[in-house]
Structure 1
Amino acid sequence: MAAGSAAMADIPSTSLRLAHVVNSDDTYHLAAERFQEILDEQSDGAVSVEIFPNASLGDERTLLEGMQIGTVDMGVITNGPVANFVDEFSVFELPFLFPTAEAAYDVLDGEIGQEILGKLEGVNLKGLAFAERGFRNITNSRNPINEPADLDGLRLRVIENEVYVDTFRTLGANAVPMAWTEALTALQQGTIDGQENPINAIYAFNLAETQDYLTMTRHIYAPALFVMSLPKWNALPEEVQTLVQDAAVEASAYARAQNAEAQAEQLAALEAAGMEINESPDIEAFREAVAPIYEQYGQQFGDYLPRIQEALE
């Protein structure tokens, strides 16, 4: 213990500002808090983390741009916006790519995922670990959805990412890309009919207040990332870099476990709040309908798609 304390005494006092765009009930915030706790414990308080939730420092694109120039230290960011900075991240957004969360973890935490994570350094960002947004599902206020035809003309908010936009336009929806902060207002005002997100976000943002129907399409598995400003990372002493890296990996695993544990309870709460939930839509019909997306994007990510498909066999 004495030796450990002496080692901790050598760690310089370091403060980090971590931002995200969701509220304190969301998995991102739980991951951020766990990251904060781990660093405090492992550094004997030398490394502190201040958390800025609710898009208080800007939307996800703004946060990433801030990290590039060093005005934001780090954040928990959805994979889709990250893909606007490094195209290869979009390969994870291909619809119905991952059959289970465990299959996604194997790819993300393995050679392929870590290779893509490393590409962030080319755009002045540092990828630390893959956390989780989760399998995305459709909610709307217009009608029940069981097959692609039910999406016809539905004004559906999607992440500002071309794979999302093209996927839902292929399915017949009127896909409207917008930041999440804008989407919440648009849902309340009825200027859009629906959105797609994992159960944790649907629950955390009380979407049962504006959305009558939830369809468990599980159409895309969306990672989230612990991302840091590369200038900030490079300015950290090596021992602090190690602590930060390890804390991000551990906090990401914690977020995944929390998601899995909470989902049944969250679904029950959404149903109790009045949502009509379709737990078994015609997934095969959706899968067949998005085949053109693989034709369109299959070659765009170099050899990453075939490598992922081979890893999943």
Structure 2
Amino acid sequence: MLRTLSITAGLVALGLSAPASAQTTFQIGHSLSPNSHYQVGAQTFADLVAERTNGRYRIEIAPGGSLGSEREMVEGVQLGTVDMVLTSMGTVGAFVPETLVLDLPFLFNDAAHARAVIDGEIGAGLLEAVEAKGFRPLAWAENGVPGFVTRDRAIAKAEDLSGLKMRVQANELHTATFEAMGSQGVPLGFGEIYTAMQTGAIDGTYMVVPIVVTSNFWQVQSHMTMAPLFYQAAMFIMAPSAWDQLDEADRAIFVEAAREAGVATRNAVEKAEAEGLATLREHGMTIATEYDRESFDRALAPVYERFADRIDPALVEKIRQQGN
């Protein structure tokens, strides 16, 4: 956690005031590579904050999990040992159960449906739930709609997942989803996925196209099936201890910068997905777009029943209605 002020130790020792040009540096971590859509979002945020505060605040970006796994970074934000994180909501769900609704399988029709939900009343309520658990959420961002990435077979129906070891986030709902389809859910940090696929410790994962490309997963997997099992929302989250250092005007700048940066992640995901599918085909991956939705609905019905006591069925129905 950085709290770097551009004043000398001598001034502090003498009890003198910091000059008007004093600069505070906050660090934002994320788990993806420096050429990812997360980096686009983080850099957009950093640039906007620097510009709109006249350089009084500097945002240093720590990509590639250099501050720890997503779970470790989210926990660090809660504890105040990490200033900020750009993270997937699959990880946040372990800390804020109210957000698990976003991880229900096949809840959203597509990214447009999901965006309409989280940009509206439901999304605002979920931001409040995140704040109530000891975080300061700034804005929504995006990972996109992933696909099944597998070595030995394409996933056309739920039964195709039977017997496979599939990487999952440390999220009970994700694990339950894959287990309902006959898979073994293997929780792994993002940095462990490539080696686990390479060695056969797992048979596949569920990942967005841009990450499959930038992480070179095409080197160790052969198939990708584009099916909207989950929509992967993401979020800019700040440690309350860092937030408390900002005055009201600067808080507004940080929030608006994060909102614009969230839009930048969405735009980057769309562009990278279109280009990435072509790249994966060039590298020999088989890309499938057809799947048997009914087989997934049958297999996953018990998941909805299992979580009905924790995820309000009325909220689920409200989300579905927005997609009609």
Normalised to the residue count of structure 2, the TM-score between the two structures is 0.90
2:244 aligns to what SS in structure 1? helix
Aligned-pair CA distance for 1:21: 1.0
* 1:229-263 superposed Cα distances (whole Å, 9 cap, x missing partner): 01211221211111110000000011101211221
Query: For 1:161 and 1:55, how far apart are their aligned partners in 2?
Result: 18
Amino acid at match of 2:316: L
Query: Is the aligned partner of 1:275 residue 2:277?
Result: no
Aligned-pair CA distance for 1:149: 1.6
What residue ranges of structure 1 are gaps of 5+ in the alignment? 1-8
Q: Which 4+ runs in 1 deviate beyond 6 A?
A: 9-12
**Aligned ranges 1:161-200 → 2 under 5 Å:** 161-200=171-210
Query: For 2:266 and 2:20, how far apart are their aligned partners in 1?
Result: 33
2:270 aligns to what SS in structure 1? helix
Aligned-pair CA distance for 1:83: 0.6
Aligned-pair CA distance for 1:146: 1.3
Correspondence for 1:3? none
Aligned-pair CA distance for 1:294: 1.5
Q: Which has the larger radius of gyration?
A: 2
| 1:105 aligned to which of 91, 115, 123 | 115
Amino acid at match of 2:190: W
Query: For 1:29 and 1:290, how far apart are their aligned partners in 2?
Result: 34
Query: Is the aligned partner of 1:306 residue 2:307?
Result: no
Query: For 1:140 and 1:171, how far apart are their aligned partners in 2?
Result: 15
Correspondence for 1:234? 244
What residue ranges of structure 2 are gaps of 5+ in the alignment? 1-18
Aligned-pair CA distance for 1:98: 0.9
Query: For 2:165 and 2:234, how far apart are their aligned partners in 1?
Result: 25
Question: Is the Cα contact below 8 Å between 2:209 and 2:272 reproduced in 1?
Answer: no
Correspondence for 2:148? 138
Question: Is the Cα contact below 8 Å between 1:11 and 1:240 reproduced in 2?
Answer: no
Correspondence for 2:41? 31
Correspondence for 1:86? 96
Aligned-pair CA distance for 1:110: 0.9
Correspondence for 1:16? 26
Higher mean displacement: 54-63 or 118-127: 118-127
Question: Is the Cα contact below 8 Å between 2:110 and 2:228 reproduced in 1?
Answer: no
Aligned-pair CA distance for 1:185: 2.2
Query: For 1:11 and 1:296, how far apart are their aligned partners in 2?
Result: 55
| Number of aligned residues | 305
Amino acid at match of 1:186: A
Query: For 2:246 and 2:23, how far apart are their aligned partners in 1?
Result: 10
Query: For 2:285 and 2:48, how far apart are their aligned partners in 1?
Result: 37
Query: For 1:209 and 1:100, how far apart are their aligned partners in 2?
Result: 28
Identify if the C-alpha distance between structure 1 residues 27 and 112 changes in structure 2 by more than 3 Å, giving closer, same or farther: same
2:68 aligns to what SS in structure 1? coil
Correspondence for 2:230? 220
Query: For 1:237 and 1:72, how far apart are their aligned partners in 2?
Result: 20
Normalised to the residue count of structure 1, the TM-score between the two structures is 0.93
| 2:133 aligned to which of 118, 123, 130 | 123
Amino acid at match of 1:119: A
Aligned-pair CA distance for 1:287: 2.7
Query: For 1:11 and 1:137, how far apart are their aligned partners in 2?
Result: 48
Aligned-pair CA distance for 1:301: 2.1
* 1:252-280 superposed Cα distances (whole Å, 9 cap, x missing partner): 01110121122121001001111111111
